């Protein structure tokens, strides 16, 4: 924890203990250190509000909203306006959404290396430093026209988090989507074998909770704040109405698909121990394939093809003996792999694989798998272990000790 995080913790503890005066002094020190930091300025405003100084709180929030909007920091401006209780969001922001551009990067986080200076307890906060720039786009919201944004605007609200707070809990009912205005959060998923698996760290501009909207299921991961954070909450019902716009629906679908594939590699037993940056490179080696229910993915006896990971949906695995009809060997779902035995042994496919439902797969050919295993030997070791387990299961199922021996 760096010095700024420590000061923030002291300020938050003081406010929780009913001492807004001490909290104001500490938040003011952080605002003097970084006048454009949206979290520090909003926390200072919250402390003034807790002290009964409503006018000071409103002025700090409005100054941030106006300064950030003039500087092109649309997301900072939006969360500040929500904190200030702005009833005219649609009129205020719709013109800026139409001019939003992706060329201006988000505010980079400070590294905390520079010593934090001392500030007199009664020193007024410095003004927000306005640096003119084109507005940055808001995830999803910038895809709405003025009329659609006006419908969604009443459903927007501010969510403030302290380090350690849980924003979303895996398995919970989904009722909102969140835009990260400032701060850093970690995405985690539970795993029976290893406990919690880190799926990644997200920051300003990230969209969270959208998979529940598109896939219509409970939360698939837990999201916990690593730092003080500010978010914009969008009511799910309002966003579903907005998603009727083709551009929004397309953006949601693409974003969710990308997140789904990233999650698959992060949680797959084959790849979860690989460094996250390396996983991103591995993901680019895979081909994404959508197949309908009933599609025959592999025929028993086919030449060795590809390693396949199931991202969405499920498949059934059948094996036939002689002239007998195929027997069901296994049903596989998200995170499971198939095709590894034929690839590792060089022998024909040992079973037929059929899509039990509409499914999305990640597929990697033999050359790509060789490259990945050379770069990451642990992947090859896990793949060989999976193949050995599967062969042992097949020998047991078919009561055949010589089932598919690996050639010398």
Comparison of pLDDT for 230 and 373, the residue scoring more: 230
Task: Please determine whether the domains at 1-137 and 280-397 fall in the same fold group of CATH.
Answer: no
Distance CA 197, CA 177 (A): 22
Average pLDDT over residues 308-334: 84
Q: Distance between CA 112 and CA 106 in Å, rounded?
A: 18
Report the topology of domain 280-397.
Jelly Rolls (2.60.120)
- Residue 106's pLDDT is 46
Stronger pLDDT, 361 or 242, i.e. the higher one:
361
- Reply yes or no on whether the pLDDT at 401 is more than 50: no
Predicted local confidence at residue 398, as pLDDT: 47
Mean pLDDT along residues 141-151: 79
b/e sequence 285-312, b meaning 16+ C-beta within 10 Å: ebeeeebeeeeebbeeeeebbbbbbbbb
Domain ranges of the chain: 1-137, 154-262, 280-397
Buried b / exposed e over 16-41, threshold 16 CB at 10 Å, is eeebbebbbbbbbbbbbbbbbbbbbb
Q: What is the pLDDT of residue 393?
A: 64
Is 1-137 assigned to CATH 3.40.50?
no
If one compares 17 and 349, the residue with the highest pLDDT of the two is 17
Q: What confidence tens digit (pLDDT) does each residue in 159-209 have? A: 999 999 999 988 888 788 899 999 999 988 887 666 777 777 889 988 888
Fold of domain 154-262: Jelly Rolls (2.60.120)
Q: What is the DSSP string of 29-41?
A: HHHHH-TT-HHHH
pLDDT digits (tens, 9 = 90+) for 87-128: 888 888 877 776 666 544 444 445 555 777 777 767 888 999
* The pair of three-digit structure tokens given for residue 122, joined into one six-digit string: 């009664």
């Amino acid at each position: 924890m760096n010095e700024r995080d420590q000061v923030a913790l002291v300020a938050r503890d003081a406010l929780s203990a009913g001492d807004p005066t001490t909290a104001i002094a500490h938040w003011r020190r952080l605002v003097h250190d970084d006048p454009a930091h949206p979290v520090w300025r909003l926390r200072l405003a919250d402390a003034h509000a807790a002290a009964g100084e409503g006018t000071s709180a409103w002025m700090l929030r409005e100054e941030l909203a106006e300064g950030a909007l003039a500087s092109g920091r649309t997301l900072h401006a939006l969360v500040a306006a929500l904190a200030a209780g702005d009833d005219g969001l649609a009129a205020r922001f719709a013109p800026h959404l139409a001019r939003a551009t992706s060329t201006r990067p988000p505010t980079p986080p400070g590294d905390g290396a520079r010593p934090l200076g001392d500030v007199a307890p009664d020193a007024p906060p410095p003004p927000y430093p306005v640096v003119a720039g084109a507005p940055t786009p808001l995830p999803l919201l910038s895809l709405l026209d003025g009329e659609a944004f006006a419908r969604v605007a009443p459903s927007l609200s501010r969510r403030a988090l302290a380090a350690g707070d849980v924003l979303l809990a895996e398995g919970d009912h989904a009722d909102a989507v969140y835009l990260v205005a400032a701060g850093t959060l970690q995405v985690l998923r539970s795993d029976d074998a290893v406990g919690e698996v880190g799926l990644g760290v997200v920051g300003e501009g990230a969209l969270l909770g959208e998979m529940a909207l598109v896939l219509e299921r409970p939360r698939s991961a837990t999201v916990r704040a690593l730092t003080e954070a500010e978010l914009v909450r969008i009511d799910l019902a309002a966003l579903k109405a907005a998603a009727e716009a083709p551009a929004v629906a397309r953006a949601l679908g693409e974003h969710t698909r990308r997140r789904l594939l990233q999650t698959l590699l992060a949680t797959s037993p084959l790849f979860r121990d690989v460094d996250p940056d390396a996983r991103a490179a591995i993901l680019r080696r895979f081909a994404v394939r959508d197949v309908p229910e009933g599609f025959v993915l592999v025929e028993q006896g086919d030449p060795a093809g590809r390693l396949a990971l199931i991202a969405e949906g499920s498949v059934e695995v059948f094996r036939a003996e002689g002239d007998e009809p195929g027997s069901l060997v296994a049903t596989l779902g998200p995170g499971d792999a198939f095709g590894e035995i034929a690839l590792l042994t060089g022998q024909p496919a040992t079973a037929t694989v059929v899509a039990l439902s509409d499914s999305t797969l990640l597929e990697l050919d033999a050359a790509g798998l060789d490259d990945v295993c050379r770069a990451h030997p642990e992947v090859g070791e896990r793949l060989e272990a999976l193949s050995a387990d599967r062969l042992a299961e097949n020998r047991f199922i078919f009561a055949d000790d010589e089932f598919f021996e690996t050639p010398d």
